[in-house]
A and B are shown apart, each in its own frame.
Chain A
Amino acid sequence: DGGITQSPKYLFRKEGQNVTLSCEQNLNHDAMYWYRQDPGQGLRLIYYSQIVNDFQKGDIAEGYSVSREKKESFPLTVTSAQKNPTAFYLCASSRNGPPDTQYFGPGTRLTVL
């Protein structure tokens, strides 16, 4: 059953802590993306990667970091520098770069206590 998975589904953290969100795909896609969605809002791009060991900042990269050491994995770290991290985080992948259809994971809801 191919697809893109995110874990955990719900995540709670205390202020000042870093937290890492997992994103894995077995679709053999080259490109992967991280988005943030706030209630009633659209998606805003945090980071994207078109190839292993390379990634670019999106519109709201401040306070976040990523790595792309393996083709199938693109973890996102929400650092303590992110002022308002409570949100729904969505990971996506596409076969090649941006022109292609994106396939989304189920999302992780992060709540900062």
Chain B
Amino acid sequence: SQQGEEDPQALSIQEGENATMNCSYKTSINNLQWYRQNSGRGLVHLILIRSNEREKHSGRLRVTLDTSKKSSSLLITASRAADTASYFCATLNSGNTPLVFGKGTRLSVIA
């Protein structure tokens, strides 16, 4: 029962450019989280945004949430080659059910 769907599936940009990834979901959520995965490794939590928040910043990351459109976006500013990874959104529905992960966006930052 995957809920979050990231878009695009893959993104390739030059170093220094901004990268924007989107996540759409289907049902009401408690919070939405973004994770990063380097190839062949575990996931690392990046940022959590609650359903009553609209925007959140963490370093070069900016996350927005539009609950009316059931969508979120992750912006990475001034990208670096080290940002190359897959990025997943995960949604937490109301209740106590576990996070549901999307299929991810594969970001390639070319030096």
Contacts and interface: CB of A to CB of B under 8 A. Distances in A.
Interface string A41-55: 111110010100000
B1 interface: yes
Contacts of B92: 98-99
A45 B91 CA distance: 13
Interface of B: 1-2, 30-31, 33, 35, 40-45, 48, 88, 92, 96-104
14 contacts: A33-B98, A40-B103, A43-B101, A44-B101, A98-B92, A98-B97, A98-B99, A99-B96, A102-B35, A104-B43, A105-B42, A107-B40, A107-B41, A109-B40
B40 A101 contact: no
Contact of B43 (A40, A59, A90, A99): A90
B45 A42 contact: no
A106 interface: yes
B44 A104 contact: yes
Contact of B88 (A33, A43, A48, A103): A43
A63 interface: no
Residue of B42, B88, B92, B103 with highest tally of chain A CB at under 10 A: B42
